[in-house]
Chain A
């Protein structure tokens, strides 16, 4: 039996090419490389009382230079300055909360404000890591724990104030790769919100680029927090209004007289105002003492700029 081996070879060759073409199309079109992603067993679901433990991306070489220092080596002047600023910001928030917060020890709004102190401190530490190779980016939580301890020691706070006062220049610039992405391929309302914030910052410091430091990060978080607060207030009031309307409609259907219009509890507005004031105080301090701006005026103007809470693109992680 004579077998012409060339024909099957050609057939298989064509098959291989077709399969390769199909594989190319699958990979090209499927966002996860042709395979479905891991199902919910690996979900990160914060749950009702959990926290968002975002997975920090690895610090790439263009963000942070490889550490040339040995662990335990003395930190640089820049690192001392940035860490001292971070500590003083945390101390400022704690002092303001202790002064002004009248709520109970379990008040969830107070919990959120304490958490702001933590998140902003971690942001500050990671910013410092970008400039100071002797700092370990993985040690951010440890640094926060140490900072909480340091707040109880007046000598540590005095040292931090002296380090900040004696530092010669402004807050140094660090690479901010998040900003490059912040204006790319975003929903139009997010880009517009960022642009408004950027324009305002540029009008406050024409000589300094707001995108060379964490100023833009602070400004976006502040404006976003106030927008979220205003949304919450509106939503609660709308809920009360909707209930009153539906009740009046039901009574009308029953042939009963409508109820007296209910007043909105004044404590509702007061609580939101109080939280907004604490946000304003916290960020005005940072604008003033870090970036040399008129913090109160900038905070007041930023409060007028809506930034949707979906726009958390620039947050340092």
Chain B
């Protein structure tokens, strides 16, 4: 019997003029709260940071040994590309090297620009070695690595006590696995990998290396200022 009484009391209360008079009061309190919040917020100030990132360094190498000359020396093969961003201008320096098949020396070819990453522009962290015939002098290697640079493209401050740097930031990328075996067959899986915490300074550059190897990372990545769980 207690329950119907309570329901009746609630209905009476909600339908009473007293409750009707309380609603504007609540609105007024909410309004005051918002106003106070805004006043405090505006007084303390805020810092709006626009983050940016770019490729810093990328290296790709394919090299190995594909047989033996009658004099006992190995036959070598290999090519290597290297890219690095210039801090002042934002331009990239490119290098291409090839390997001499008889001496194994690496020889510079040119500094001309080339396409970086795979056909989709993805950058990989990867090491791969294959020895197709154990015991035979045939070795095939692939190496890929890259690092990124992140900075605050703009920092706009307002108010009396705007927060100062460094600003917590993260990069996140869609990835595909890159775990081949010698037959080049592999099971691809897809996912998302987030960088470790990046402390962006108000000026200057922070270098970033993504945490997991044997992955191809989509580039450019998602970047934000805030906590790791924000995006």
Contact = CB atoms under 8 A, between A and B. Distances in A.
Contacts of B129: 246, 250
B141 interface: yes
A262 B105 contact: yes
A265 B105 contact: yes
A219 to B, nearest CB: 13
Interface in A47-82: 47-55, 57
A43 B54 CA distance: 10
Interface stretch (A108-116, A201-209, A290-298): A108-116
B29 A31 contact: no
Contact of B29 (A16, A107, A255): A16
> Which residue, of B93, B131, B136, B201, has the highest number of chain A Cβ atoms within 10 A?
B93
Interface residues of A, number: 88
Determine the interface band of chain B, counting residues with CB < 8 A from chain A.
35 or more
Interface in A289-313: 309-313
A31 B225 contact: yes
B47 A31 contact: yes
Given A23-B40, A312-B205, A43 B220 contact: yes
A8 B219 CA distance: 56
A30 B164 CA distance: 10
A310 B108 contact: no
A112 to B, nearest CB: 5
> Which residue, of A24, A31, A257, has the highest number of chain B Cβ atoms within 10 A?
A31
Interface string A3-40: 10000100010011001100110011011111011111
A236 interface: yes
A31 B136 CA distance: 60
Interface stretch (B83-91, B180-188, B190-198, B209-217): B83-91
Contact of B163 (A30, A57, A106, A185): A30
Contacts, number: 255
Contacts of A235: 57, 82, 84
Contact of A46 (B44, B90, B134): B90
Contacts of B112: 104, 106-108
Contact of A225 (B37, B88, B221): B88
A44 interface: yes
A24 B40 CA distance: 7
A186 B223 CA distance: 23
Contact of A108 (B40, B49, B93, B222): B93
Contacts of A3: 18
Contact of A250 (B57, B111, B131): B131
A107 B203 contact: no
A239 interface: yes
A235 to B, nearest CB: 7
A91 interface: no
B90 A108 contact: no
> Which residue, of B89, B135, B231, has the highest number of chain A Cβ atoms within 10 A?
B89
Contacts of B227: 36
Interface in A226-260: 228, 232, 235-236, 239-240, 243, 246-247, 250-251, 254-257, 259-260
Contacts of B84: 232, 235
Interface in B71-109: 72-74, 76, 78, 80, 82-95, 97, 103-108
Contacts of A110: 111
Given A16-B33, A44-B153, A115 B91 contact: yes
Which 8 pairs show the lowest CB-CB distances between chains A and B?
A: A33-B46, A52-B90, A115-B89, A37-B225, A36-B226, A45-B220, A51-B90, A44-B52
23 contacts: A12-B25, A24-B44, A27-B44, A37-B51, A38-B50, A45-B223, A55-B50, A108-B93, A108-B113, A186-B204, A187-B201, A190-B204, A239-B59, A243-B80, A246-B129, A247-B63, A250-B139, A254-B137, A255-B135, A263-B105, A267-B108, A271-B111, A313-B203
Given A28-B44, A47-B54, A264-B105, 16 more contacts: A3-B18, A16-B36, A32-B163, A33-B48, A36-B230, A39-B231, A115-B91, A224-B87, A239-B80, A240-B106, A246-B141, A251-B65, A254-B131, A256-B137, A259-B104, A309-B205
Interface of B: 16, 18, 22, 25-26, 29, 32-33, 36-37, 40-41, 44-55, 57, 59, 61, 63-65, 72-74, 76, 78, 80, 82-95, 97, 103-108, 110-113, 116-117, 121, 129, 131, 134-137, 139, 141, 143, 153-154, 163-165, 167-168, 201-207, 219-227, 230-231
